[in-house]
Structures are given as C-alpha cells and as structure tokens.
C-alpha cells in the first residue's frame, strides 16, 4: 500500500509591526502488513515579531524583536499482536530556537530614576535553544473484564541559554539634571555572562486498569511514578565560602513522586422512578499529579557568586555614552543577596477530586457536579532570610524618631 501524504505550507505576511513567517506541515501514514501502522509528522513554524521586546518607549530605536523557529518531528508505530494485545511506540523531537535581536545592540543602558530609560533594556542580549526528545511506549492488554495499560515515558531535554545581562554597560542617574550633566551615580558592567548548557533526563512509568466490575459499575485504577534529574543542581552553592554563609547547596533529586489515581462510573439498574433504569450515572475520581521544575529557575539562579564577575563603579563623571573598561574578580561578601533554590526543593504537587451525578429526564440531561483541587510545594520567589532588628536596634530607631519628631502618642 502506498503511504498517504498530507502537506501544507504557507508564507508570511506583515500585519502592523508583526511579521508572520513561514510555516510548513507534513504527515505520512503507512500501513505495514496486516498488524502494523506507521505515522510520521513534521511541522516548522518560523516567525519574527518585530519591535516587541527590550525598550520600546522611544519607538523602534531601542526596541528588539522576537525571532522564533519551532521544529516538531514525531514518529509512531502501532503493532497488533492479537485481538487483546496492542502496543504503541512514539518518538518525538521538539526544537525551539529563540532569539531577541536588538535594533541597537551596542549602546549602553542609561536609567534615569523615576523617569525613563535610554538604550536597550539591561537584561538583553539573550537567547536560547532547547531540544526535547521524548520516547513513549504503551502496551494495552484486554483480559476478561480488565483492560490493562502499562507504559513508560522517557524524556531528554537540553537547553543552551545565553544571558548577557549588563554586558553593554548600565549607567544609573539619580535625576534628569544629573543625566544632562553626565554625572552617573552608578556604572555596572558584567565581565562574564550567566550562560549555561543544561541537560536533564525525565523518566515516568505508569500502570492502569479499567475494571468492569459489573454491567453497571466500572472502576479506573492507576499508578504513576516520576523521576527527574536536577540540571546543574539549579546552581546551588558548592564553594566553601557560600556554604559557610548558609547559602543552600545544590538541589537534590525528588525521588518520591508517586501518583495514584482512582475513579468510578456507576449507572444503577432500577425500576424506581428516582434513579431510572440506566438513566442515572454517578462518576467520581481522585488523583495526585506533579508538575516539573521549570528552567527559569536556572536563569534566575545563574548569577550568584562565584560564576559572575561584575565591574561596579560609583560616581562616574563624563563617561556616558562610552563605557569604562576594567577588570574584576568574583568577590565573596556574606552580606550579598543570593538567589537560590532550597536543597530539598520538591516538584509542585496537586491533589484533585471530582464527583458528578447525571440524570436523563425525558429529552433533557441534568448534571450536578463538584470538583476540587489543592496544591503543595508551589514555586514562589521570596525572602528566605529577612533582616530582623535586635532589641538594641529597635531602641535606637525609637530614640532617633523621638529626637526628630517627638514622642509617639497613641490615639484614644
């Protein structure tokens, strides 16, 4: 049998400030013998969104574009062993190439406090390329009143992230007059980039049974286990100085992600008028699910000591729009701010449940349903070690306040 091919493609159009680029899609279906089917899919989407990022306050002069190229390839093969045993294997590759080219990639950033910024944003340039490989296999076995499914989902992810924050030089001006007089209060220049290449394996296994207990009751039972490696330890501290200052070390693997699921569907057979004969269905279920630790954690954690060396100069006169040159080495300071993830960071977890009653009444179907969920271990960035005043510091602060504004009198 000849394979069936479907091909679609298109060309981009300009819509205002957005360029919709080129996209292509193709699919091939091939039957191999009496028991095998092969499917292949390919799609490509290339798009440029002009003048969408960085600093667009002054029009396009300091703006940047989003240059996106998405490629998707998948293969699947199903094999029928007999009437009760079926296997399906799938492989896929998803590649995303994302760049943010700036219209002016060279001018430094000048921030005038309380007003505006001249030049591109200081968190540019940046770009990233991600490759996600996935292999899944599902075996379906029907035996008696049971339909079993067993499977594995294996994923390999690779991310090349380029982030050159403050690499163009960033000037800080206290006000507009200081800007006119070319008197910057601060100058920052990153001498290294916080770029990285992250690699990760994700392994998931599951088993499921749809058990038809009787003609009016079906149970759905399942169990899933998830395990992921931790790329680069999410940049937890490894140097003795940081560890001595109680900065968290590398994130450890979360190994107890067990996800059970149970559900039922009950359609009672009764001659009574309340439930009817097969006219009522009661459904319910409960399960646990896990989310992944997203890679943005790597980006925000990547600039800690000792990975990045930054040149910081105060009170810079008559330099802007040029930049200062110099050298610097990473300097440990226990009073610095670290952005880290806790060593025992866990995958976000959610419990979810539902219950519904559906009743057929004449030509209508009425349904009453309830669903709920509760999540744990969500990702949130917050101050883990806030400053707390000592009793002596509180007394000193109260003394200063009273000396300048008099004693505080509570309202009656």
- For 246-288, the pLDDT digits (tens) are 889 999 999 999 999 999 999 988 776 677 777 899 999 999 9
Cβ neighbours of 187 (radius 10 Å): 22
* Cβ neighbours of residue 360 closer than 8 Å, sequence gap 6 or more: 276, 279, 280
315 in the same domain as 177? yes
The closest alpha carbon to 124, from 142, 155, 96, 102, belongs to 102
* Count: domains in the chain: 2
136 in the same domain as 32? no
Looking at residue 19, its pLDDT comes to 52
348 in the same domain as 330? yes
Does the residue 412 lie in any domain?
A: no
129 in the same domain as 42? no
65 in the same domain as 128? no
Kindly report the CA angle at 9 between 127 and 89, in degrees rounded to 5?
Answer: 75
Average pLDDT on 353-358 reads 96
For the record, the structure tokens of 312 come out as 């910081």
129 in the same domain as 99? no
Query: What pTM was computed for the model?
Result: 0.80
CB contact at 8 A, 63 and 102 = yes
- For 286-333, the pLDDT digits (tens) are 999 999 988 888 888 888 888 888 888 999 999 999 998 877 777 787
Does the residue 213 lie in any domain?
A: yes
128 in the same domain as 273? yes
- For 386-398, the pLDDT digits (tens) are 777 788 878 887 8
Domain residues for the domain of 22 are 1-83+94-105
CB contact at 8 A, 73 and 29 = no
End-to-end alpha carbon distance in the chain: 93
16 in the same domain as 126? no
The residue assigned the tokens 């960085």 is 54
State the pairing for strand pair 109-112/170-173.
parallel
Q: Which DSSP category does 233 fall into?
A: G
């Amino acid at each position: 049998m000849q394979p069936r091919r479907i091909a679609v493609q298109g060309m981009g159009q300009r819509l205002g400030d957005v360029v919709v680029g080129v996209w292509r899609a193709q699919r091939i279906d091939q039957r191999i013998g009496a028991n095998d089917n092969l499917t292949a899919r390919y799609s490509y989407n290339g798009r440029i969104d002009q003048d969408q990022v960085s600093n667009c306050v002054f029009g396009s002069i300091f703006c940047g574009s989003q240059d996106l190229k998405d490629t998707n390839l998948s293969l699947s093969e199903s094999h029928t062993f007999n009437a009760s045993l079926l296997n399906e294997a799938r492989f896929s590759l998803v590649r995303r190439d994302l760049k943010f080219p700036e219209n002016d990639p060279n001018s430094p950033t000048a921030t005038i406090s309380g007003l505006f910024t001249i030049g591109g944003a200081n968190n540019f340039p940046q770009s990233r390329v991600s490759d996600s490989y996935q292999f899944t296999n599902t075996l379906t076995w029907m035996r008696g009143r049971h339909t079993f499914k067993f499977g594995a989902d294996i994923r390999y992810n690779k991310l090349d992230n380029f982030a050159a924050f403050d690499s163009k030089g960033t000037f800080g001006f206290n006000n507009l007059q200081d800007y006119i007089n070319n008197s910057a209060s601060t100058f920052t220049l990153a001498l290294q980039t916080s770029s990285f290449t992250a690699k990760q394996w994700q392994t998931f296994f599951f088993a499921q049974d749809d058990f038809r207990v009787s003609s009016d009751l079906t149970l759905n039972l399942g169990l899933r286990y998830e395990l992921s490696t931790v790329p680069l330890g999410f940049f937890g501290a490894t140097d003795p100085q940081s560890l001595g200052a109680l900065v968290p070390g590398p994130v450890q693997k979360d190994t107890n992600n067990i996800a059970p699921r149970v559900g039922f569907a009950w359609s009672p057979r009764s001659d009574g008028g309340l439930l009817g004969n097969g006219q009522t269905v009661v459904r319910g279920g409960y399960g646990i699910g896990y989310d992944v630790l997203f890679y943005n954690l790597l980006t925000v954690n990547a600039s800690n000591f000792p990975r990045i060396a930054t040149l910081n100069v105060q009170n810079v006169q008559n330099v802007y729009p040029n930049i200062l040159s110099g050298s610097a080495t990473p300097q440990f300071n226990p009073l610095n701010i670290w952005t880290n993830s806790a060593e025992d960071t866990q995958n976000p977890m959610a419990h979810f449940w539902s219950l519904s009653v559906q009743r057929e009444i004449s030509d209508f179907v009425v349904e009453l349903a309830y669903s709920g969920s509760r999540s744990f271990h969500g990702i949130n960035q917050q101050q883990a070690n806030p400053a707390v005043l000592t009793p002596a510091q509180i007394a000193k602060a109260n003394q200063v306040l009273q000396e300048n504004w008099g004693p505080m009198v509570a309202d009656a």
